[in-house]
Structure 1
Amino acid sequence: MNQTNQKIYIIGAGISGLVAAINLEKKGYAPIILEATDRIGGRVKTDIVKGYQLDHGFQVLLESYPKAKEYLDYKKLELQSFLPGATIYKNRNSQTIGDPTRSLKMLVPTMSSSIGTLGDKVKILKLNKSLKKKSLEDIFKEEEKTTLKYLQDKGFSKSMITDFFKPFFSGIFLESSLETSSRMFEFVYKMFGTGMATLPKAGIGAIPKQLQEQLATTQIKLDTAVKEISGQTITLENGEVLESDYIIIATEASHIVPNLRGQETPWKSCVNLYFEADAPKDRKPLIGLVADENTRINNIFYHDTLETVTTGAKSLLSVTVVDDSDLSIEALSAMVSSELSTYCGIKGATFLKSYEIRKALPELNNLRNNCAPSETQLTNNIFLAGDHLLNGSLNAAMVSGERAVEGVIEKIEGLLK
């Protein structure tokens, strides 16, 4: 049989699954993607509600991601850039700090803010400079410590950590104690420092759509949930049985592979709430961080401070809550509305929709930036992909998709020799 006639299934049409399909097509294969939901994208999706673009969770594309540069056409995505900084809300006041080396708009507010000491601001510039020179390979070879310990070891003041680093990176790491590996901190900080945080004009869901547009021979079967994989046999939830030569599982595998049950990757969660609000007085594309203790809100962002393809009647406000809550959405949205008024001066916001994202980021130790193709192999014919293999980022999802395909190709070519 011609090697390109091998029947290869990919489970999951998220970023890693789509990248795997792209790479299989480059090698002459025509894979079949089985996706449990009604559309592609995995965790990277955008809904349109009352004309507003609602991403599933507040997400950004860091344009410095090496793999994103390879797979995405930034110009066609019409990337809209955030300003490199944040507005900090504390004690019912707000101050803005940022990186004046990348935006002069940040110079005066940063230097005049009382967030951190002058020494802290000098240390930030030094950190920016050192991480720009540091390779990703070197970052992921560093000894791991918590991000909190890393910042303390760098000499940052308690107020700088509490008022800036903790609220800013809690929203990225989806945990409020800065327990995430220092490798991830350095990686993300380097990505922020060497490029802009952006969003496609059509929302984050434009990213998987652009990846799908690169596919020519791949079949994507939506609403096709997999119940179990055993050997080369795929059993669907509807009872249908499929036979394969190779399988790439580009999603959490523990619930569909019997010998992995009980080994599920732990995940971090968050709740993303959207509100319709009056336009902000200062229309700068800056993330807002709430640094007051005992608040539910971590970060806020007015999406129409960036250009969007569609817009609603007013302004769209995104709010992220990181700490787990046993509140109902009704109670949580009421509490968030109250906090918006009290801490951010945002009154009369009308709740639109919420997303409870239970598997927002994989909770990992020994973070890596890469792996050998052989490390993606689970059994003789099953290979794994997904950012949970490396680190919780879009870049890692793309890398893992590549490595899984390389593992499959090595296996096929090895059998043909």
Structure 2
Amino acid sequence: MEKSEYTINIVGAGISGLVAALVLEKEGYSTTIYEATDRAGGRVKTDIYEGFQLDHGFQVLLDAYPMAKKYLDMDSLALQKFLPGAVIFKDGKNKTLGDPLRNVSLLIPTLLANIGTVSDKFKILKLNNELKAMSLEQIFASKETSTLTYLKDRGFSDDIISSFFKPFFSGIFLEPNLETSCRMFQFVYKMFGEGLAVLPKAGIGAIAEQLASKLKRSNIILNTPVERVLEGKLVLADGKELPSHYTIIATDASHLTGDLIMETVTWKRCETFYFTTPKRIIPRPLIGLIADKDALINNLFFHTSLEMANRGEGELLSVTLVKEHQLSDKDVLDRVVQELEQYCGITELTFLKRYQIKKALPQLTNLQYSMTPQQTQWSPSIYLAGDHHLYGSLNAAMTTGEMAAKAILEHMKTTS
């Protein structure tokens, strides 16, 4: 068959689906991407609301991600850099903890922070050096425990764990108890050590928009949910059947594969509230962490401490919750407002919008760094992609998209 004769469908226009299409296009193939929502991006989207850009949940890109370097044009994203540290709110005070080796302005505040012991500081240096020397493949082949067990086994004090590691990594893992695999902790920690947390000037959704804009042969069909993916065809929600030589399911496939039994993905959820305020109490681009064990809020960030493509009146504040609760819509908003005043001294808030993200990150064990193209093949014509096959990360999403596309290309070679 000629390349133009192949029908290649991709279910889901998230990051993995977009990368898969790019890989196939590079080899001269065309794809059709079916997306259930009104735009590409999956979990990586940005809204414009009241003049501000609001990401779907507080998200950052780690610029050290190998796959981000491979597939993204970093310069055109106009990446805005976070400082390598955090402001920790505890016991009615706020203290800044950071990496003075990468930003000297954090030296004095970090020395004065009085968080953790002197021994903790040396253990952090030792951890930095060890992870710097390890490859990503070695990290994902290491013994797997929970992050909390890993930190305790390394001798970190309860103070540094509760004051820094828990609030900081809970906001990344989207669970409050550091039950996430230590492989994920080591991976993220290494990426922070080798680069910076950044945000595109136009918001996190600019990543998906850039990938989609690179597609020249592919067609993204929006607002078109797929009901079933079967051998040689897919069935849309309206009952229409479409032929398919190859299909990549670049989303949670557990409800799509009909009689082919697939393990259901368990998802972590979170909530993000956006407010405007007259002033920001954290003037520089540092994440704020609330280290009180009774607090519902995990982290906060003043987005207007970075340059933004879309900025309304006042300062933009996001607040993220990762703990489960049974509060009503009104009560949880009241609780967030009360905690911002209680722990951070933030008042005069104007509520903008709340995002309840039910599928924020996959909950996984036995994390693997990569997979072979063959491991993405589910059946003769169906291939799987998405970060839930490896670990919850943009890097993993891109990896699986690439591997699924390569699997199809390899299959074509063997059958031609």
Q: TM-score range by the shorter chain?
A: over 0.9
Q: Which position in structure 1 is the counterpart of 2:371?
A: 371
Corresponding residue number in structure 1 for 2:26: 26
1:362 and 2:362 are equivalent in the alignment? yes
Q: Is the 8 A contact 1:329 1:354 kept in 2?
A: no
In structure 2, the residue matched to 1:72 is 72
Indicate if the aligned counterparts of 2:248 and 2:384 stay in contact, CA closer than 8 A.
yes
Q: Give the letter for the 2:166 counterpart.
A: K
Whether the 8 Å contact between 1:89 and 1:344 is mirrored in structure 2 is yes
Give me the whole-angstrom Cα distance separating, in 1, the residues matched to 2:48 and 2:285. Answer: 21
Specify the code of the residue in structure 1 equivalent to 2:245. Answer: D
Does residue 1:98 correspond to 2:98, yes or no? yes
Deviation string 1:60-85 (CA, Å, 9 cap, x unpaired) is 00000000001111111000000000
Q: Does the 8 A contact of 1:46 with 1:54 survive in 2?
A: yes
> 1:20·1:404 contact (CA, 8 Å) conserved in 2?
yes
Q: Could you tell me which residue of structure 1 aligns to residue 10 of structure 2?
A: 10
Aligned to 1:314: 314
Spell out structure 1 runs of 4+ moving beyond 6 A: none
In the alignment, which residue of structure 2 is the partner of 1:36? 36
Alpha-carbon separation, structure 2, partners of 1:118 and 1:355 = 40
- Say whether residues 1:184 and 2:149 are aligned partners: no
Q: Aligned letter for 1:325? A: H
**226-235 or 288-297, which moves further after superposition?**
226-235
CA distance in 1, matches of 2:355, 2:261: 27
CA shift for structure 1 position 23: 0.2
For residues 281-301 of structure 1, the C-alpha deviation after alignment (integer angstroms, 9 at most, x for no partner) is 441100000000111100000
Check conservation: 2:282, 2:302, Cα contact below 8 A: no
Alignment-derived partner of residue 240 in structure 2 = 240
**Structure 1, residues 169-193: CA drift from partner, whole Å, max 9, x if none?**
0000011111111110000000011
Tell me how far apart the structure 1 counterparts of residues 2 and 262 of structure 2 sit (CA, whole Å). 38
Work out whether residues 11 and 33 of structure 2, in 8 Å CA contact, stay in contact via their aligned partners in 1. Answer: yes
* Paired residues, number: 416
User: 1:323 is matched by which residue type in structure 2?
Assistant: K
| Matching residue of 1:414 | 414
Matches within 5 A, 1:263-282: 263-282=263-282
Distance apart, 1:205 and its partner CA: 0.4
SS of 1:258 mapped into structure 2: coil
1:285-304 matches, cutoff 5 A? 285-304=285-304
Say which SS state the counterpart of residue 156 (structure 2) adopts.
Answer: coil
Distance 1:324 1:23 in 2: 39
The 5-angstrom pairing of residues 118-197 of structure 1 reads 118-197=118-197
1:133/1:27 CA distance change after superposition, 3 Å: same
Asked if the contact 1:255/1:261 (under 8 Å) is kept, the reply is no
Q: How far 1:121 moved relative to its partner?
A: 1.4
Instruction: Show the counterpart of 1:323.
Output: 323
Secondary structure at 1:242's aligned position in 2? strand
Structure 2 counterpart of 1:198, which letter? V
Q: What amino acid sits opposite 2:189 in the alignment?
A: Y
Q: 1-side partners of 2:325 and 2:158: how far apart? A: 27
Give, in whole Å, the separation in 2 of the partners of 1:125 and 1:354. 38
Give the Cα separation in 2 of the matches to 1:240 and 1:114: 63
Cα deviation for residue 133 of structure 1 reads 1.6
Question: What's the offset of the Cα at 1:28?
Answer: 0.8
One-letter identity of the residue aligned with 2:31 = P
Gaps of 5+ in 2: none
Contact 1:87 1:94 in 2 (8 A): yes
Alpha-carbon distance, 1:326 to partner: 2.2
How far off its partner does 1:4 sit? 4.2
Displacement of 1:5 after TM fit? 2.1
- Tell me the TM-score normalized by structure 2: 0.98
Provide, for residues 231-278 of structure 1, a one-character-per-residue CA deviation record: whole Å limited to 9, x for no partner. 112111112111110000000001111135572110110011111112
Q: Distance in 1 between matches of 2:328 and 2:251?
A: 28
Number of the residue aligned with 1:398? 398
Q: Is the 8 A contact 1:295 1:339 kept in 2?
A: yes
Residues in 2 aligned to 1:175 and 1:261: alpha-carbon distance in whole angstroms: 28
Q: Name the counterpart of 1:63.
A: 63
Deviation at 1:21, TM superposition (A): 0.4
Q: State whether residues 276 and 349 of structure 1, in contact with CA within 8 Å, keep that contact through their aligned partners in structure 2.
A: yes
Task: Indicate the residue corresponding to 2:210 in structure 1.
Answer: 210
3-state SS in 1 of match to 2:391: coil
Could you tell me which residue of structure 2 aligns to residue 113 of structure 1? 113
Q: C-alpha distance in 2, partners of 1:23/1:262?
A: 26
Instruction: Summarize the Cα distance change of 1:243–1:340 in structure 2 as closer, same or farther, 3 Å threshold.
Output: same
Other structure's SS at 2:410 match = helix
Does the CA-based 8 Å contact 1:5-1:29 persist in structure 2? no
Confirm or deny: 8 A CA contact 2:303 2:317 kept in the other structure.
Answer: yes
Tell me the residue number matched to 1:82: 82
**What is the TM-score with the length of structure 1 in the denominator?**
0.98
What letter is aligned with 1:36? Answer: A
Unaligned 5+ segments in structure 1 are none
Query: Which stretch of structure 1 is more off in the superposition, 32-41 or 348-357?
Result: 348-357
Q: Tell me the CA shift for residue 134 of structure 1.
A: 1.1
SS at match of 1:223: coil
- Percent identical among aligned pairs is 53
For 2:25 and 2:78, the matched residues in 1 are separated by 26
Q: Deviations over 1:308-340 (max 9, x none)?
A: 011111111000000122223322111100000
- Paired with 1:406 and 1:75, the residues of 2 have a C-alpha distance of 27
Other-structure match for 1:284: 284
Paired amino acid for 1:60: V
State the secondary structure of the residue aligned to 1:310. coil
Deviations 1:29-80 (A, max 9, x none): 0000000000000000000111111000100000000000011111110000
Give 1:135 deviation, angstroms.
0.7
1:253, 1:260 within 8 Å by CA — same for their partners in 2?
no
